[in-house]
């Protein structure tokens, strides 16, 4: 039996019908790589059961302390039934991507059953008309409550459900897995007395120790200082109001190599994460501008940050902080926006370092109150819509980035071909993005309240167009000198080609005329080469008038060459007529 931490308990208190606090992941699999080329429902159940000991949360359920006087506990469920947690469904005909997104949205909208271990998995068949997928592919949607995992510890669950090769071998535990008995109320009461006393003392000491750093950071965000990376009060959009229980989901993917090329072309320390933030910023800008709702001020994103140390790297639960960085949606130019985002994320990291984030998260996040007070406070905030009236605070959206492996993974022998994440939503934060890299691709998914985003297909189209614009702008980052040399070479080549075409199409032109044209061609080549050198010097001296005389001389020589050619050609025609 293990008690939840403050941050873990906070996600339990935040759970309502409108705000289910689970994290979801959608994987697509090619079953042709599995033994025999086919997988059945029982095969997947057996595969998961053989690996449950790698992630204890699969068997752990929540036990509440009576009257909510202390935080709840995890115990191994004595009545665990794996077939309740793994369900098998199929898309109706024709089984396309849009139908899959609608199904995922509906399943993701439903809260988990708190009387059982807080996870579910759905095997989804019938993806017959989803473009780009191998034949007979299937999907698996996994839902796990945020009180059990965060983005980093969720990788442990992800790893437990996958192998590095198609040859899946049984992974039986070295020792038998034993279930806990349900604790009595007397046991829970007795534990709560000592816990409340020790927790109160610890939180009081931590408050006085961390208060200066917390206050300093809060003031920087409140004043919106540039060196803070973000700001406390952010502009309100359609995504920053009370949310409904309904969700929408959409996803796309990009080439990791394309994103890296943008990073390398722009330079100045930009990262792959900066490029993806710029992509989301461009998409939000396009979407809100289309609906004539784009604020003049920059929107801000909350970026979850893993704060684990090496000693607790393998622990489940939550140890996650957050950065607040401006997305600079008020900047139209994609490269300028990218550089501004890079500056904001760097400043946000520095701001987070000034405060002991780990101590703040573990002592002062949602679970520092007992469950009774925590749930009551959450109900009051939702019923009065106080956060919506006073907010939004800190962020307009959430963008989580989890790096995946650059090698293929297999589930029961079936190769994973794609993966998308689905973060939870809450009031005033009704839009979430998840970025995941895997095997040379980056997937980007969006989850939103259906009331605020009734057109998720259009939003994901904005995401695609945003990255295309960034890539195109990055390709234009070439030096003027290279462009000038290319232009000079092209002019000389064009002049020589004109000479050949003229000789071939005009057999009556005399050798004297061709020699004259040849001389002019050589002069044009020399002048264009000289012009290239002058323009190179012009860039360093910033004197735009130096190249003008050369341009005029080239233009006059071109005109003289054409006139002489026309005169000589007329003379040749007259000679032919006389003869």
Quick check: 324 and 310 in contact, CB under 8 A?
A: no
Q: Which pLDDT does position 310 carry in this prediction?
A: 67
**In 407-499, which ranges are E strands?**
410-411, 414-422, 431-438, 441-449
Handedness of CA 498, 499, 505, 508 (dihedral sign): positive
Q: Which residues contact 193 (CB under 8 A, 6 or more apart)?
A: none
Of 268, 258, 282, 283, the C-alpha closest to 343 is 268
Q: Is residue 34 part of a domain?
A: yes
- Top mean pLDDT of 158-172, 501-515, 541-555 is at 158-172
The whole-number average pLDDT for the span 319-341 is 93
The whole-chain average pLDDT of the chain stands at 80
- What does the buried/exposed string (b/e) look like for 478-501 if buried means 16 or more CB atoms within 10 Å of the residue's CB? eeeeeebbeebeebbeebeeeeee
| pLDDT at 211 (0 to 100) | 66
Domain boundary among 475, 506, 535: 475
Phi, psi for residue 198 in degrees, rounded to 5: -65, -35
Q: Range with the lowest mean pLDDT among 153-157, 163-167, 205-209, 259-263?
A: 205-209
Least reliable range by pLDDT among 268-282, 360-374, 483-497, 545-559: 545-559
Containing 248, the helix (H) or strand (E) segment is strand 247-255
Residue 237: inside a domain, yes or no? yes
**Would you state the pLDDT for residue 510?**
39
Residues 142 and 47 in one domain: yes
Residue listed under structure tokens 């439903």: 110
Kindly state whether residues 287 and 221 are assigned to the same domain: yes
Looking at the structure, tell me whether residues 271 and 381 fall in a common domain.
yes
Find which of 176-180, 213-217, 229-233, 422-426 is predicted with most confidence, using mean pLDDT: 422-426
pLDDT of residue 486: 47
Residue 383 forms part of a structural domain? yes
Candidate list 22, 85, 146, 328, residue with the active-site label: 146
Q: Which of 425, 452, 475 is the last residue of a domain?
A: 475
Residues 61/117, Cβ–Cβ less than 8 Å = yes
Where does residue 317 fall: left (phi above 0), alpha (psi -120 to 50 degrees), or beta otherwise? left
Q: Contact, 75 vs 180, CB < 8 A?
A: yes
246 catalytic? Reply is no
Strands 410-411 and 320-326: unpaired
Q: Are residues 217 and 174 in the same domain?
A: yes
The pLDDT, as a whole number, for residue 379 is 80
CA-based nearest residue to 22, from 432, 436, 459, 455:
432
What is the per-residue pLDDT for 39?
A: 92
- Dig out the tokens for 333 from the structure: 């130019």
Answer yes or no: is 480 within a domain.
no
Tell whether 155 and 245 lie within a shared domain.
yes
Instruction: Tell me whether residue 222 is in a domain.
Output: yes
Identify the pLDDT of residue 108.
Answer: 97
Judged against a pLDDT cut of 80, whether residue 82 lies above it is answered with yes
Q: What is the pLDDT of residue 258?
A: 96
Q: Identify the pLDDT of residue 408.
A: 96
Per-residue pLDDT tens digits for 408-435: 999 999 999 999 999 999 999 999 999 9
Within-domain flag for 481: no
Residue 494 and residue 448 share a domain? no
- Residue of 102, 112, 407 whose CA lies nearest to 251: 102
Q: Where are the alpha helices (DSSP H) in 319-393?
A: 334-353, 357-364, 371-384, 386-390
For residues 374 and 267, state if they share a domain.
yes
What the block records as the tokens of 347 is 């400043």
Q: pLDDT above 90 covers what percent of the chain?
A: 50
What integer pLDDT is reported at residue 133 of this predicted model? 92
95: in domain: yes
Domain that holds residue 285: 2-475
% of residues, the chain, pLDDT over 70: 74
| Residue 2, phi then psi, degrees to nearest 5 | -135, 135
Q: How many domains does the chain have?
A: 2
SS3 559: helix
Answer whether residue 156 shows pLDDT above 90: no
* 433 and 514 both lie in a single domain: no
Specify whether 101 is located in the same domain as 174: yes
Instruction: Identify whether residues 521 and 377 lie together within a single domain.
Output: no
Q: Average pLDDT for residues 274-284, to the nearest whole number? A: 98
Asked whether residue 265 is domain-assigned, the answer is: yes
Q: What tens digit of pLDDT does each residue of 374-388 get?
A: 788 878 887 778 777
Greater model confidence, 499 or 327:
327
Q: What is the 3-state secondary structure (H, E, C) of 75-120?
A: EECCCCCHHHHEEEEECCCCCEHHHHHHHHHHHHHCCCCCCCCCEE
Backbone angles phi, psi at 551, to 5 degrees: -60, -40
What per-residue confidence (pLDDT) applies to 394?
83
By DSSP bridging, strand 300-306 and strand 397-403 are parallel
User: Of 451-465, 467-481, 532-546, 559-573, where does the model show the most confidence?
Assistant: 451-465
pLDDT confidence tier of residue 560, bands split at 50, 70 and 90:
very low
Average pLDDT, stretch 546-561?
40
Average pLDDT over residues 248-260: 96
Both tokens of 388, joined, read 């919506």
Q: Is the distance from CB of 17 to CB of 114 less than 8 angstroms?
A: no
Q: What is the pLDDT of residues 10-61, one digit of tens each?
A: 899 889 999 999 999 999 999 999 988 999 999 999 999 999 888 889 999 9
Residues 437 and 571 in one domain: no
Q: Rounded to whole angstroms, what are the CA distances from 227 to 221, 343, 352, 412, 438?
A: 9, 9, 11, 49, 33
What is the domain-level CATH number for residue 185?
3.30.559.30
Pair 149, 317: CB distance under 8 Å = yes
In this structure, the strands spanning 414-422 and 22-30 are antiparallel
The answer to whether 5 and 127 have CB atoms below 8 angstroms apart is no
DSSP 8-state secondary structure symbol assigned to residue 317: B
The residue out of 445, 475, 505 marking a domain boundary is 475
51 and 140, same domain (yes or no): yes
């Amino acid at each position: 039996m293990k008690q939840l931490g403050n941050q873990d308990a906070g996600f339990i208190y935040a759970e309502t019908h409108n705000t289910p606090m689970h994290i979801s992941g959608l994987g697509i699999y090619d079953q042709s790589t599995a033994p025999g080329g086919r997988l059945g429902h029982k095969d997947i159940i057996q595969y998961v059961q053989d690996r449950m000991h790698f992630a204890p949360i699969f068997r752990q359920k929540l036990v509440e302390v009576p009257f909510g006087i202390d935080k709840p506990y995890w115990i191994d469920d004595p009545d665990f039934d794996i077939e309740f947690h793994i369900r098998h469904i199929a898309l109706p005909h024709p089984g396309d991507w849009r139908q899959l997104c609608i199904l995922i949205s509906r399943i993701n909208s439903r809260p988990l059953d708190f009387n059982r271990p807080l996870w579910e998995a759905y095997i989804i068949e019938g993806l017959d008309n989803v473009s780009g997928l191998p034949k007979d592919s299937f999907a698996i949607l996994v839902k796990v409550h945020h009180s059990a995992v965060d983005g980093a510890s969720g990788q442990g669950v992800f790893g437990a459900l996958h192998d590095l090769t198609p040859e899946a071998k049984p992974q039986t535990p070295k020792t038998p897995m034993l279930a806990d008995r349900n604790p009595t109320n007397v046991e829970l009461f007795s534990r709560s007395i000592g816990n409340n006393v020790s927790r109160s003392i610890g939180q009081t000491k931590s408050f006085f120790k961390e208060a200066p750093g917390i206050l300093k950071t809060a003031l920087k965000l409140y004043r919106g200082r540039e060196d803070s990376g973000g700001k406390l009060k952010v502009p309100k959009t359609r995504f920053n109001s009370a949310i409904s229980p309904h969700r929408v989901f959409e996803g796309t993917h990009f080439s990791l190599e394309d994103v890296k090329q943008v990073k390398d072309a722009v330079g100045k320390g930009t990262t792959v994460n900066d490029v993806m933030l710029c992509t989301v910023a461009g998409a939000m800008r396009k979407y809100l501008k289309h609906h004539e709702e784009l604020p003049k001020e920059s929107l801000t994103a909350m970026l979850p940050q893993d704060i684990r140390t090496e000693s607790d790297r393998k622990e489940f639960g939550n140890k996650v902080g957050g950065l607040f960085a401006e997305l600079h949606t008020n900047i139209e130019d994609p490269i300028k926006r990218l550089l501004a985002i890079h500056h904001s994320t760097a400043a946000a990291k520095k701001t987070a370092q000034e405060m002991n984030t780990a101590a703040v998260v573990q002592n002062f996040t949602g679970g520092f109150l007992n469950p009774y007070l925590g749930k009551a406070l959450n109900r009051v905030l939702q019923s009065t819509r106080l956060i919506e009236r006073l907010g939004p605070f800190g962020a307009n959206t959430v963008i989580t980035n989890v790096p995946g492996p650059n090698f293929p993974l297999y589930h029961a022998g079936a190769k994973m071909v794609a993966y998308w994440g689905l973060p939870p939503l809450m009031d005033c934060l009704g839009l979430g993005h998840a970025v995941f890299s895997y095997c040379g691709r980056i997937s980007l998914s969006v989850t939103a309240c259906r009331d605020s985003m009734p057109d998720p297909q259009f939003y994901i189209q904005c995401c695609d167009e945003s990255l295309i614009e960034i890539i195109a702008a990055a390709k234009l980052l070439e030096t003027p000198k290279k462009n000038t040399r290319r232009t000079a070479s092209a002019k000389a080549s064009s002049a020589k080609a004109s000479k050949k075409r003229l000789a071939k199409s005009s057999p009556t032109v005399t050798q004297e005329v061709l020699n004259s044209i040849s001389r002019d061609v050589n002069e044009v080549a020399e002048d264009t080469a000289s012009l290239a050198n002058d323009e190179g010097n012009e860039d360093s001296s910033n004197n735009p008038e130096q190249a003008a005389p050369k341009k005029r001389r080239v233009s006059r020589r071109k005109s003289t060459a054409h006139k002489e050619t026309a005169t000589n050609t007329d003379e040749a025609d007259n000679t032919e007529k006389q003869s």
